[in-house]
């Protein structure tokens, strides 16, 4: 689907992308601030980096993933820093996004897959997110929210019913380390994790393993201990750091703190998996 924002004169940009590693900037830069605010308040329009299809890692089965733009974190290892700024996304009406999703409704059911909203941080646009999840569920499509959890409080209990699975990132446990990794506090993330636990919402916990930054065994032991006490963690995805996003930091002229960091060794990955498994969690 090509989208030409009414308020822009840019060439049309395809909402579909092969993967979220395509660099996209300034695609809604000309949308007036008042329209952005109205869109966020109503959820009638969202700002998307892209739609991708065929993911097997963003929830169960084969997934269609909508990647939102806008994020309040500044993770040192972020591989999509072009999604930090909401103005880099394509403005898409709710109707268009739902229409795009409906193309895949039968295929997704056949493949026991579903729809995942990722980012950026989808809850920067929580009203749009809830509307899309509601539409997806009405089409019989399984829904997953991939979130850093910071704005989890924005979702009402009723909103949460529209989400079948939460992919929750816990980036670090120690408050100081979390601030170092993301620039933001960890408390709101852990509060959201507890709320999901209280509501027995299925969660896949995601942890990005970065040598020298998030690989401290004691901090990981704290995350594992916390997660094992929640009772709703279906699995833990240990995601080894990679450098696929390095070119984006360069092209955006951002100082990249992990320029010379290598992916973790297999030995370290196995150690971290073992730490989660040791407390009874399924870690992959
Ligand atoms: S939460 Fe995700 S999108 Fe936001 S900065 Fe961190 S890695 Fe990037």
Predicted confidence (pLDDT) per residue in 170-212, tens digit:
999 999 999 999 999 999 999 999 999 999 999 999 999 999 9
**Which of ligand 1's atoms lies nearest the C-alpha of 72?**
4
DSSP string for residues in 153-170: GGS-HHHHTT-SEEEEE-
Which comes out higher in pLDDT, residue 204 or 30?
A: 204
Closest residue (by CA) to atom 2 of ligand 1?
Answer: 120
pTM: 0.94
Among 85, 148, 169, 188, name the best residue to mutate to test ligand 1's pocket (greatest count of ligand atoms within 8 A of Cβ).
Answer: 148
What confidence score (pLDDT) does residue 1 get? Answer: 46
Confidence check: pLDDT of 5 > 50: no
Q: Ligand 1 centroid vs 78 CA: distance in angstroms?
A: 5
**pLDDT over 90 at 222, yes or no:** yes
pLDDT exceeds cutoff 90 at 12:
no
Tens of pLDDT along 125-136? Answer: 999 999 999 999
Q: State pLDDT tens for residues 31-63.
A: 888 989 999 999 999 999 999 999 999 999 999
Compute CA distances 99 → 88, 96, 154, 272, whole Å. 22, 5, 26, 41
Integer Cα distance of 54 and 70 in angstroms: 23
**What is the predicted pLDDT for the residue at 250?**
96
Those residues whose C-beta lies under 8 Å from the C-beta of residue 90, and which sit 6 or more positions away, are 3, 5, 13, 15, 24, 27, 28, 47, 48, 49, 50
CA of 222 to the centre of ligand 1 (A): 21
pLDDT band at 13 (very low <50, low <70, confident <90, very high): low
pLDDT band at 151 (very low <50, low <70, confident <90, very high): very high
Q: Residue 160: pLDDT above 60?
A: yes
- Residues in contact with ligand 1 (CB, 6 Å cut-off): 71, 73-75, 78, 80, 83, 119-121, 148
Neighbours of 180 (CB within 10 A): 15
Task: Answer whether residue 247 shows pLDDT above 60.
Answer: yes
Would you call 6 exposed, middle or buried from its count of C-beta atoms within 10 A (0-12, 13-18, 19+)?
A: exposed
Task: Enumerate residues 6+ apart whose C-beta is below 8 A from 126.
Answer: 43, 151, 154, 155, 159
69 pLDDT band, cuts 50/70/90, is very high
Please, which contacts does 266-272 make with residues 24 or more away whose CB atoms are closer than 8 Å?
268/209, 268/211, 268/215, 269/209, 269/238, 269/240, 271/217, 272/207, 272/209, 272/215, 272/220, 272/238
206 Cα–ligand 1 center, Å: 12
Tell me what the pLDDT averaged over the chain comes to. 93
Phi and psi (nearest 5°) for 115?
-115, 130
Write down the pLDDT at residue 6.
Answer: 37
Mean pLDDT, residues 9-24: 67
Q: Decide if pLDDT at 4 tops 80.
A: no
- CA-based nearest residue to 67, from 96, 44, 88: 88
Closest ligand 1 atom, residue 182 Cα: 6
């Amino acid at each position: 689907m090509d989208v030409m924002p009414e308020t822009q004169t840019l060439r049309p940009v395809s909402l579909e992308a092969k993967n979220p590693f395509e660099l996209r900037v300034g695609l809604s830069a000309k949308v007036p601030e008042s329209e952005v605010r109205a869109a966020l308040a109503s959820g009638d329009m969202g700002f998307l980096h892209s739609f991708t299809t065929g993911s097997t890692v963003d929830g169960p089965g084969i997934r269609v993933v909508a990647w939102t733009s806008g994020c309040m974190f500044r993770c040192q290892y972020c591989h999509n820093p072009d999604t930090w700024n909401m103005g880099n996304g394509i403005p898409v009406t709710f109707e268009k996004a739902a229409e795009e999703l409906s193309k895949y409704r039968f295929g997704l059911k056949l493949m026991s897959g579903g729809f995942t909203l990722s980012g950026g941080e989808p809850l920067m646009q929580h009203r749009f997110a809830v509307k899309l999840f509601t539409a997806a569920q009405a089409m019989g499509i399984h829904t997953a929210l991939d979130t850093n959890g910071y704005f989890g409080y924005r979702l009402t209990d009723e909103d949460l019913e529209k989400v079948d699975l939460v992919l929750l990132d816990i980036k670090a446990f120690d408050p100081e380390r979390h601030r170092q990794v993301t620039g933001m506090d960890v408390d709101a993330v852990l509060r959201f994790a507890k709320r999901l636990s209280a509501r027995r919402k299925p969660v896949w916990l995601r942890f990005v393993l970065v040598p020298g930054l998030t690989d401290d065994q004691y901090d990981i032991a704290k995350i594992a201990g916390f997660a094992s006490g929640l009772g709703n963690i279906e699995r833990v995805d240990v995601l080894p750091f990679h450098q696929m996003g390095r070119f984006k930091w360069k092209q955006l002229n951002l100082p990249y703190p992990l320029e010379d960091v290598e992916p973790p060794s297999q030995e370290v990955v196995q150690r971290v998996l073992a730490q989660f498994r040791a407390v009874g969690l399924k870690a992959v």
